[in-house]
C-alpha cells in the first residue's frame, strides 16, 4: 500500500516557514496524541534548531491516557516543553500560554536588559495535516481566527493572529515530508486522516487498523460492534475468508451494511470502522508507544 502524499502546496509551505523562521521566538508543534512520534515532521526539527520548542499532544481525549503520560515524560526528558490538549474543549489554552511564557522567559529577560519592553512573543504553530492547528489557534484566541475543517489541507497559506499585546501566532499549513523511510509512519498518518483518503484503499487500511488493535486493544472492535469470537470463526469458515475480512463481514452484518442480494458490504464496514476510530468511538486508543 502506497502511503506517499505530498501535494505541491506543501513545498511552498516549507519555503514560507524557512523565510519566516527568523521572525519567530518559539515553535509550537502540534502532534496527534495517538501517534506522537509518527505525527512529528522531521523538517520542523531542522527548521527549529535554535528556537524554543513546545510540543502539544493534541486530541489527547482520543488517546490512551496512560500511554499519553509516557509520551509526555519522554519528550520532557528530551528538553521540550510539553502539554496535552483537547482542542475541541480548549480547557488547556491557558496552560499553553503559560508554557510559552516560561519557554521564552530567558529571551524576555534579555530583551529587558537591552531596553526592549513590550515586544510580543512570536510563535509559529506547525504540524501535520488534520492535526487540529486551526481549531487549536481559535481556542487560544477565543474566537474564530483561523479556518477549520475535518480533512487535510484546509490551511493553504500563512496567517498572523494576535492573541494579545504579548503574543502573536503564525499559523502555517499542515505539512508532510516527501518520503517516509518507515512505512509504519505512513500507515499511522493515513489511519488518523492526515492523508487524502481518495488516494488510499480504505478496506486495506481498515484491515491494517484491525491488525494493530487486535494486539494492543483486543476487545475494542468486539465490544463496539457486538462481535463474538464464535461469529468471527463461523464467518471465516463460511466465506473462506481471512480473519481480517471476517472482522469486516461481522461489522457489516451487525450494522446492517449490505450490498444487493444481502451480501455483507465490507467496503462500507471498513469506512465505518475508520470513521469510528478517528472520532474516538472505539474508545481511547494509541497506535504507538515510546521506545
b/e code 117-144 from CB counts within 10 Å (16+ = b)? eeeebbbbbbbbbbbbbbbbbbbbbeee
Residue 7: per-residue pLDDT: 54
Max CA distance (Å), the chain: 79
CA proximity to 287, closest of 240, 220, 224: 220
Kind plus residue range of the DSSP H or E element containing 13: helix 8-20
CB-based contacts of 247, cutoff 8 Å, min separation 6:
210, 221, 227, 232
Residue 12: per-residue pLDDT: 75
Q: Three cell numbers at 142?
A: 477565543
Alpha-carbon gap, residue 74 to 65, rounded angstroms: 14
The residue count of the chain comes to 291
Q: Three cell numbers at 165?
A: 499585546
Alpha-carbon gap, residue 137 to 117, rounded angstroms: 25
CB distance 235 to 214 below 8 Å: no
Which residues make beta-bridge pairs with 169? 123, 161
Handedness of CA 143, 146, 147, 150 (dihedral sign): negative
Interstrand relation of 167-171 and 159-164 (parallel, antiparallel or unpaired): antiparallel
Kind plus residue range of the DSSP H or E element containing 256: none
The per-residue pLDDT string of the chain (291 residues; one tens digit each, 9 = 90 and over) reads 655 555 556 677 778 888 888 889 999 999 999 999 999 988 888 888 889 999 999 999 999 999 999 999 999 999 999 999 986 787 888 889 899 999 999 888 888 888 888 789 999 998 888 898 888 888 888 865 544 444 443 444 567 888 888 899 988 877 775 567 788 998 999 999 988 888 889 999 999 999 999 999 999 999 999 999 999 999 988 765 688 999 999 999 999 999 988 889 999 999 999 999 999 999 999 999 998
Kind plus residue range of the DSSP H or E element containing 83: strand 81-85
CB-based contacts of 279, cutoff 8 Å, min separation 6:
62
pLDDT in tens, 57-88: 999 999 999 999 999 999 999 999 999 998 67
Kind plus residue range of the DSSP H or E element containing 82: strand 81-85
CB distance 267 to 202 below 8 Å: yes
Which residues make beta-bridge pairs with 56? 30, 83
3-state secondary structure of 250: helix
Residue 153: per-residue pLDDT: 39
Count of CB atoms situated within 10 Å of the CB of 279: 11
Residue 59: per-residue pLDDT: 94
Alpha-carbon gap, residue 46 to 35, rounded angstroms: 20
Alpha-carbon gap, residue 79 to 74, rounded angstroms: 9
For the chain, domains (ranges, CATH) are: 8-171 (3.40.50.300), 201-278 (1.10.1580)
Amino acid at each position: 500500500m502506497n502511503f506517499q502524499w505530498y501535494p505541491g502546496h506543501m513545498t511552498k509551505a516549507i519555503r514560507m516557514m524557512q523565510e519566516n523562521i527568523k521572525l519567530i521566538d518559539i515553535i509550537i508543534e502540534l502532534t496527534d496524541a495517538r501517534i506522537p512520534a509518527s505525527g512529528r515532521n522531521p523538517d520542523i526539527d531542522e527548521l527549529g534548531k535554535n528556537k524554543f520548542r513546545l510540543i502539544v499532544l493534541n486530541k489527547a481525549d482520543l488517546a490512551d491516557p496512560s500511554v499519553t503520560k509516557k509520551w509526555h515524560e519522554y519528550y520532557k526528558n528530551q528538553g521540550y516543553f510539553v502539554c496535552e490538549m483537547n482542542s475541541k474543549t480548549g480547557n488547556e489554552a491557558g496552560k499553553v500560554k503559560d508554557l510559552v511564557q516560561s519557554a521564552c522567559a530567558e529571551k524576555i529577560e534579555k530583551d529587558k536588559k537591552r531596553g526592549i519592553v513590550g515586544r510580543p512573543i512570536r510563535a509559529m504553530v506547525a504540524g501535520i495535516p488534520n492535526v487540529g492547528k486551526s481549531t487549536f489557534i481559535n481556542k487560544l484566541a477565543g474566537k474564530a481566527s483561523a479556518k477549520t475543517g475535518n480533512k487535510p489541507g484546509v490551511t493553504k497559506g500563512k496567517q498572523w493572529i494576535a492573541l494579545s499585546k504579548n503574543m502573536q501566532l503564525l499559523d502555517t499549513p499542515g505539512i508532510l515530508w516527501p518520503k517516509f523511510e518507515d512505512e509504519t509512519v505512513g500507515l499511522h498518518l493515513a489511519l488518523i486522516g492526515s492523508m487524502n483518503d481518495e488516494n488510499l484503499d480504505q478496506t486495506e487500511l481498515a484491515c491494517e487498523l484491525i491488525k494493530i488493535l487486535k494486539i494492543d486493544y483486543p476487545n475494542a472492535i468486539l465490544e463496539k460492534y457486538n462481535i463474538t469470537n464464535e461469529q468471527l470463526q463461523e464467518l471465516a469458515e463460511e466465506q473462506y475468508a481471512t480473519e481480517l475480512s471476517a472482522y469486516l463481514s461481522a461489522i457489516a452484518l451487525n450494522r446492517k451494511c449490505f450490498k444487493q442480494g444481502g451480501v455483507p458490504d465490507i467496503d462500507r464496514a471498513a469506512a465505518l470502522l475508520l470513521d469510528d476510530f478517528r472520532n474516538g468511538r472505539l474508545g481511547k486508543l494509541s497506535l504507538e508507544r515510546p521506545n
